[in-house]
């Protein structure tokens, strides 16, 4: 049953924390959950498809879209531009669907400023050193890029307190983190203010 605008979930945290894998697992469990595909100017990695993992744009195309207010937020990350397409997010929420996205930390905070009702979830590995191991294991970045991502990660960790939830992705037990994310999504539906005055009035008088 669709009852009003959908909920917006923002999963963020440092690169290598496992955002991609966990959000994918969550989407398999919750097929009605919509996913906001970001735009980026970075090159596709092996196995990444345009329109599915990202909209891969040239810098010119990205900048043109940005100039037309096409992004809810955008950031330069490690030399590439990343942005959240505005239309899809606004339309999907207005249609009553819940939506999940996974920007880096500054992007998450910008989304919260635009949608104060958004639920911000910070995802961390159980040990910072696991970030490096994960980035090395996926073999998609050069050593320099990995070093830069770890530097950014250190900065990003300083923003934990601005988030609503903290989920720890324990090495070798990612199913627990998927369960925890799922619990957050589930519980958020039952916050009193989500019911709206009309529904609450009816419940009070029933
Ligand atoms: P990657 O190159 O590993 O796919 O992404 C690099 C970083 O950019 C990750 O932390 C990822 O969460 C973030 N990112 C992906 N899409 C967006 C977006 O639309 N906006 C922002 N601000 N960050 C994004």
Quick: pLDDT tens for 21-52. Answer: 999 999 999 999 999 999 999 999 999 999 99
Domains of the chain by residue range: 8-36+98-205
Measured between alpha carbons, how far is 120 from 142 in angstroms, rounded to an integer? 30
Q: Give the pLDDT score at 1.
A: 43
Please report the pLDDT score of residue 3 as a whole number. Answer: 59
Of 146, 79, 81, 145, residue with least CA distance to 107: 81
CA atoms within 13 A on the CB side of 160: 11
Report the residue count for the chain.
206
Q: Which fold has domain 8-36+98-205?
A: Rossmann fold (3.40.50)
3-state secondary structure (DSSP) of residue 17: coil
Task: Using a pLDDT cut of 90, give the percent of the chain over it.
Answer: 85
Residue 4's pLDDT is what?
72
Test site for ligand 1: of 77, 81, 85, most ligand atoms within 8 A of the Cβ: 77
Radius of gyration of the chain (CA): 18
Q: Name which of 77, 67, 68, 66 is nearest 102 in CA terms.
A: 77
Nearest CA to ligand 1 atom 2: 42
Ligand 1 contacts CB of residue 65 (under 6 A): no
């Amino acid at each position: 049953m669709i009852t009003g605008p959908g909920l917006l979930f923002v999963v963020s945290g440092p690169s290598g924390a496992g955002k991609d894998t966990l959000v994918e697992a969550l989407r398999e469990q919750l097929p009605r959950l919509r996913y906001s595909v970001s735009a980026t100017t970075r090159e596709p990695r092996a196995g990444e498809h345009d329109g599915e993992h990202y909209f891969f744009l040239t810098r010119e195309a990205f900048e043109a879209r940005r100039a037309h207010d096409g992004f809810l937020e955008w950031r330069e990350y490690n030399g590439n531009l990343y942005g959240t397409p505005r239309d899809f997010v606004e339309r999907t929420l207005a249609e009553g669907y819940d939506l999940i996205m996974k920007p880096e930390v500054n992007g998450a905070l910008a989304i919260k400023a635009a949608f104060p009702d958004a639920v911000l979830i910070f995802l961390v590995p159980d040990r910072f050193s696991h970030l490096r191991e994960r980035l090395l294991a996926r073999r998609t970045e050069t050593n320099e890029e990995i070093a830069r991502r770890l530097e950014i990660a250190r900065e990003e960790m300083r923003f934990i307190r601005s988030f609503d939830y903290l989920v720890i992705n324990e090495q070798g037990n990612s199913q627990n983190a998927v369960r925890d994310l799922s619990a957050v999504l589930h519980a958020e539906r039952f916050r009193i203010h989500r019911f709206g005055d009309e529904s609450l009035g009816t419940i009070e008088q029933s």
